């Protein structure tokens, strides 16, 4: 299994969620986060306002998926969240050791 963490613009969150749902990804976790990338200290636009601060609000989406679904998940996020402007965000991928569905005790991919 893989864990995909995508930092995206807030206004892209709904589109990304819907696109992933269409690809049979039915579980994800979303968190409000703040961060910065390469343009640290420079302004970036967020909901029409210019942020001249280091931390810019973003949405973090965490998805655990089967190894076989990884490329589709990454491609879907990339195509949906991209505007081409600075600050589009990032996708981080890591190996995930295990997942357990608490209700049934199922483990691994059966728990997704
Ligand atoms: N190396 C990193 N580690 C952890 N989080 C990061 C990293 N780089 C970016 N982020 C997160 O992603 C968000 C968006 O980053 P951003 O898209 O500005 O990256 P960038 O490298 O500056 O690319 P761009 O030039 O397209 O802006 C940041 O606000 C931060 O939350
Ligand atoms: Mg940046």
The predicted-structure confidence for 17-49, as pLDDT tens digits, reads as follows: 999 999 989 899 999 999 988 876 566 666 766
Residue 59 contacts residue 88 (beta carbons within 8 Å): no
CA of 37 to the centre of ligand 1 (A): 3
Per-residue pLDDT at 44:
60
d(CA 112, CA 85): 34
The domain limits of the chain are 2-29+60-111
CB of 58 sitting under 6 A from ligand 1: yes
Strand partners for 95: 2
The predicted-structure confidence for 79-105, as pLDDT tens digits, reads as follows: 999 999 999 999 999 999 999 999 999
- For residues 6-27, give the mean pLDDT: 96
Architecture of domain 2-29+60-111: 2-Layer Sandwich (3.30)
CA of 85 to the centre of ligand 2 (A): 9
Residues 6 or more apart in contact with residue 44 via CB below 8 angstroms = 50, 51, 56, 86, 87
**Closest ligand 1 atom to 33 CA:** 31
């Amino acid at each position: 299994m893989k864990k995909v963490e995508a930092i995206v613009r807030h206004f892209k969150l709904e589109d990304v969620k819907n696109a992933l749902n269409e690809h049979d990804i039915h579980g994800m976790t979303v968190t409000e986060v703040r961060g910065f990338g390469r343009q640290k200290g420079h302004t970036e636009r967020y909901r029409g306002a210019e942020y001249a601060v280091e931390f810019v609000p973003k949405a973090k989406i965490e998805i655990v998926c089967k190894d076989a679904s990884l490329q589709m998940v990454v491609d879907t996020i990339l195509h949906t969240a991209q505007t081409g402007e600075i600050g589009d965000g990032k996708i981080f991928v890591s190996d995930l050791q295990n997942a357990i569905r608490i209700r049934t005790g199922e483990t691994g991919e059966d728990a997704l």
